[in-house]
């Protein structure tokens, strides 16, 4: 029960931030329906990951998955090409 409540809190927190941050930076705005649930989340100082699956699916056995990743810009920011080349 604690894990479910934590997931709902994390989901609610990030959903409130996504449209504003995404729209301001990338022009990307979307919403997921109520049938989607947070299956996995990870947050570090420089990286955030949220993975959503449809109700009834699990992270280790999903039919559809939506992953949202956010990388914070570091001081030594490099282009995507330079990062991939490394």
* CB 54 within 8 Å of CB 35: yes
- Residues 6 or more apart from 35 whose CB is under 8 A from it? 54, 55
pLDDT tens string 13-58: 555 455 444 444 555 677 888 999 999 999 998 889 999 999 999 9
Q: How many domains does the chain have?
A: 1
Range of the domain at 21: 2-85
Which DSSP state fits 73? P
pTM over 0.75: no
Mean pLDDT of 63-85: 82
The pLDDT of residue 84: 81
Distance CA 7, CA 1 (A): 10
- Residues 6 or more apart from 18 whose CB is under 8 A from it? 68
pLDDT band at 66; cut points 50, 70, 90? very high
């Amino acid at each position: 029960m604690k894990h479910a409540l934590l997931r709902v809190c994390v989901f609610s927190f990030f959903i409130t931030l996504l449209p504003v941050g995404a729209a301001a930076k990338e022009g990307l705005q979307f919403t997921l329906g109520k049938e989607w649930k947070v299956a996995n989340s990870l947050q570090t100082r420089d990286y955030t990951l949220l993975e959503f699956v449809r109700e009834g699916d699990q992270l280790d056995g999903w039919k559809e998955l939506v992953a949202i990743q956010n990388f914070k810009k570091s001081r030594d920011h490099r282009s995507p090409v330079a990062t991939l080349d490394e």
